Amino acid sequence: MAVNQKAVRVLNKVFEAGFTEEKAIAAMTMDDILSMQGITVAEIGIINDLQKSIKANKVITFLGGGAE
């Protein structure tokens, strides 16, 4: 299973925005996401998938590019 590089880049943006714990990432609102510098529509989708993966306890699967 290869690492999903797009997901890693988005995760770095989330960390840079100050959301460094799973609980904080899962609780991000759309306003939080839209306030991030240089965020694209595709990246918003990836953040949404990340939030779903956190709630389902499948972060490693998400980072590996696996489907839910």
Secondary structure of residue 37 in the 3-state scheme: coil
What CATH code would you report for 5-63? Answer: 1.10.150
Q: What is the pLDDT of residues 2-27, one digit of tens each?
A: 788 999 999 999 999 999 999 999 99
CA distance 31 to 46: 16
If one compares 44 and 63, the residue with the highest pLDDT of the two is: 44
Q: In the chain, what are the domain boundaries?
A: 5-63
Q: What is the pLDDT of residue 42?
A: 95
Burial-class residue 7 by CB neighbours within 10 Å (0-12, 13-18, 19+): buried
Tokens 């960390």 locate to 15
The pLDDT, as a whole number, for residue 18 is 95
The angle subtended at Cα 60 by Cα 44 and Cα 23, nearest 5°, is: 60
Furthest CA-CA distance within the chain:
33
